A and B are shown apart, each in its own frame.
Chain A
């Protein structure tokens, strides 16, 4: 964890201050390496298929039917969960819920570690979470848990996730499903 300079104000380690930056378009980030998207997708699928209690955390951008792409993405999230044998726990909004969240059925970006601890989640995918809250939540998860985080981002990605897939829209998500099916076959699952 950085201790000098502006990052010292953050209570959590910040990847960008450790020299980890988002991948350029067409590429993906795996830990601190820029890699081909295909490779990152394979490793993401492998992590979800081999680690305990894999879970997808869909955010408001896919949970609500605010446009046609959101509807399509919701279907694909469900399909990804089926292929990976993953549970879905929604991050339906970002309100700091009081007095406490029910970690069995929801995740809140202000204390996402509670849901991960409660369900003993060792691998997760963030999809459809607005970037600013994904950034907050991924930092907390990175600092407080041993969960393998995968950010499936529609924009530039999140360097605090272990694997970052950027510019993920319907076409890319469909490709991820195909990759996941292949990896599942390879693993004999």
Chain B
């Protein structure tokens, strides 16, 4: 895609709102070294969002969008859930698939892009919640790993179906009680990061979004590895503060606590992925 698609015609520059002019002059297009450190100084690709005040998922989205190495050549595939309320507002190409189909849709998009633009690198990134990734979309998610599709899958794990009122998901922790799961969950949380490794992912990470810089590094590694080697998977804890009864300003503390237990940072890198990551480090891109 040409950068000119963001270039406003000079003759009509004066009628464009400031936020759109900023997308041309202050956003970080065409800079693979872009990252979360640019956030205070540059135009973000997300203008406003419709998530709850203090929602950790909104933090995750800001960090991820700031970390994409090549946003102008990135397609985001998302699924039904809180995240799908945000994607219509971001300044990137997004595709909203049917609930659970996101990895199948992303596979098709990636293959078509490779055929249509053989001399360009196009990143396809799936962003979906735990219900879409691990419950309803489990088949599509795993099959894309088995097929070694060169896509990055990011799961926003809030451990519950949040925007439908609080039903338990496969990623809910055993014993957790929600409004529509009053008896508490009776089974263990699905260790999906391990399933992703066993299913053929070349880079897998589990973390919270309490550390922006760490999120940036993980996202970049996952995308670079997916470009060259095969599927990658990032499991992010983004608690639903409403469903677990916290205040708007409690999200960060909640994640910091979980950093020390079930979301302690975990990373798996295959041999093929190691080579890519080392090379990118040498190139100064990581």
Please give, as numbers and ranges, the residues of chain A lying within 8 Å of B5 by CB-CB distance: 64, 66
Within 8 A of A (CB), among B1-56: 2, 4-12, 15-17, 20, 47-50
Please give, as numbers and ranges, the residues of chain B lying within 8 Å of A96 by CB-CB distance: 88-89
User: Chain A: interface secondary structure?
Assistant: loop
Q: When chains A and B are docked, how far (Å) is the Cα of A88 from the Cα of B14?
A: 10
Please give, as numbers and ranges, the residues of chain A lying within 8 Å of B4 by CB-CB distance: 64-67
The answer to whether residues A102 and B15 also contact, given A64-B7, A65-B9, A66-B4 and a CB cut-off of 8 A, is: no
Question: How distant is B82 from chain A, measured CB to nearest CB, in Å?
Answer: 14
Contact A62 B17 (CB under 8 A): no
- Best-buried of A70, A75, A89, A92 by chain B (most CB within 10 Å): A92
Please give, as numbers and ranges, the residues of chain A lying within 8 Å of B12 by CB-CB distance: 58, 62-63, 74, 77-78, 88, 90
Within 8 A of A (CB), among B60-117: 88-89, 91
Q: When chains A and B are docked, how far (Å) is the Cα of A58 from the Cα of B15?
A: 10
Question: How distant is B266 from chain A, measured CB to nearest CB, in Å?
Answer: 35
Question: How distant is B134 from chain A, measured CB to nearest CB, in Å?
Answer: 28
The answer to whether residues A97 and B11 also contact, given A64-B4, A106-B17 and a CB cut-off of 8 A, is: no
Which of under 10, 10 to 19, 20 to 34, or 35 or more describes the interface residues of B? 20 to 34
Q: When chains A and B are docked, how far (Å) is the Cα of A90 from the Cα of B18?
A: 12
Question: How distant is A152 from chain B, measured CB to nearest CB, in Å?
Answer: 15
Question: How distant is A180 from chain B, measured CB to nearest CB, in Å?
Answer: 18
Q: At the interface, yes or no: A51 with Cβ under 8 Å from chain B?
A: no
Q: When chains A and B are docked, how far (Å) is the Cα of A61 from the Cα of B9?
A: 10
How many residues from A make CB contacts under 8 Å with B?
26
Contact B17 A66 (CB under 8 A): no
Q: When chains A and B are docked, how far (Å) is the Cα of A102 from the Cα of B8?
A: 20
Please give, as numbers and ranges, the residues of chain A lying within 8 Å of B7 by CB-CB distance: 64-66
Please give, as numbers and ranges, the residues of chain B lying within 8 Å of A92 by CB-CB distance: 16-17, 20
Please give, as numbers and ranges, the residues of chain A lying within 8 Å of B49 by CB-CB distance: 98
What are 25 of the A-B contact pairs (CB < 8 Å)?
A: A58-B12, A63-B16, A64-B5, A64-B6, A64-B7, A65-B10, A66-B4, A70-B9, A71-B11, A74-B11, A74-B12, A77-B11, A88-B12, A90-B12, A90-B17, A92-B17, A93-B91, A95-B89, A96-B88, A98-B48, A98-B88, A99-B48, A99-B50, A102-B17, A106-B17
